[in-house]
Chains A and B, each alone.
Chain A
Amino acid sequence: MMGKRLWIGLIVTVMVAILIYVSYGMVNVGKKETYHSVAVVLGDSSHDRWNAFKEGLEQGAEENHIHLNVVFTGVLQSQEEECTAIRRELENGAEGLIVQVIAEESPELFEETVGETPTVLIENDMGSEDEYTTVAADQGEIGAAVAQSVLSGESGDMQGLRIGVLAGNQSMHSQRKCLESFLDAIEGSGAEIAWIRSEEEWDRDAAAGLLHEDAEVDVVVALDNNATECAVTFLQENSDISWRIYGEGRSEKAIYYLDKGSVKALVVPGGFYMGYRSAELMARKLKLKTSGEKDEKAETHVDFLTVTRENLYDKNVEKILYPIVS
């Protein structure tokens, strides 16, 4: 009798347990995923060069249940300024950060500001010692690709060619790597590097009206989007100058002047992929943080393509170059 009662009790207990489990499942059906708030800090965030990145970021965020807050910034002048923006976002409840590091002058400050917040760096990393997940094009390869586009664009006739280099933000080690890689690739081609100017030097010399002295070059190589735009602007403003510009960038202006012929070749990193992938990685970081696990450092290299006037309207190129922005 006791045995029988035990059996029935056991069966009833199992059924009740299943009932509770299933009821819990039923209650949770259709329950919306928890959205995490992530702040995106970019230098000059409203610049159109970020369009493809933002599009990818938004699509990635939507699929990974992330609420994005792209911080409106002008041109960030220092890391301190950037850290202030980050701090403000964290105070406003940001659970994660996607950051374009604009300088490396005080990595400690950055580390202190970011703390344990899940962070994904884009476009630049903080050097080989850092522990941050990075989504960026390999700047070394970019530099080499720009050099290659020069070699192709000049039909291999490099002997005596004078090259001026707008090296971008040389306070960033990734930009230094890009320059280094470019110089390595161009070395031995017979071309002469007439001058190399960092972003800071360019701005200073432009303000002092000293740039005309350097106009006597055949080719100007611009190693980031800003540099390309500066070179194009300078070229447009000075009709007596006949530079052939090779550069890196993906802004509408840079592409427009590529189409116009002012820019001979442009190395364009995959902005959409960079945005999408950073959202994905951020989602993974947030998930791991929620479950108390620590995410490992990951480096994702973004592909790039070299665009010339000839292939600008190729189907595969225009799909990358001109994002369909809703």
Chain B
Amino acid sequence: MKKQKLTDEDYPTTGHVWDGIREYDKPMPRWWLITLYLTIIWGIGYTIAYPAWPLISGATPGLLGYSTRGEVAEEISAVNALNADIEAKLLATPMEDVAADPDLARFASAGGSAVFRTYCAQCHGSGAQGFKGYPNLQDDDWLWGGDLTALETTIRHGIRFETDDDTRYSEMPKFGEILEHEEIEHLTDYVLSLGSKDHDTISAEHGAALFAENCTDCHGENGEGDREQGAPKLADALWLFSSDREEVTKTITFSRFGVMPAWQGRISEAQIKQVTFYVHQLGGGE
């Protein structure tokens, strides 16, 4: 039986006319139809195999037990497994020797950067630039020391963090309870003069005597500070709480009590070493 071959005239048109051009309504190829059915079958199979249909709380779990969270957890453990060797090496290497090994240094600073952005950036800023009352970690001024050992101790035990027995601790007296208002004004002028800021010279001269009496035990004879006690250097260009006159007066009157949490036990040993290395190589490390 021979099939009748259809000519163009046998086909209807879609009825669309544009500029005299009409569009045939010709049959689709059969394989195309089969492909369409296959995709529908695939789609049904997919919704059975994977989480798909929304329910009131949640969705159908799917036969394969797939979840994006599970996938992320797998990826994380795969990365951890890949890093296991170099992490063990980092733990076994003394902090001073990390920089000498380029691979280890790269691992420590990359990991430390991630730790810093997760746990430290809230107070110290994402660029470690600090804020008023929160030290800038890029500069060369350190309250408690800026070498690797000092940094590691600070990170492990925190500052004035009372639940940690080894925390760094010191407390400045509230001179508002000890000195007269006028005396505090004189001290303010003297402290400003140490940092080469605008001040009243005569008042500062009075302040010098008061400073020698009350402040030198911690801040040093010439305001050079004392890292053992976390007492800031006063004779430099950097001010943790700004160099405004009111702020300096406020500090002397009410004192300050900056607290940093201890990270030992909250982040892993390797993370402590990483973030120590990272902070040290930001430019201020000693």
Do they bind each other? Answer: no
Chain A positions near chain B (C-beta within 8 angstroms): none
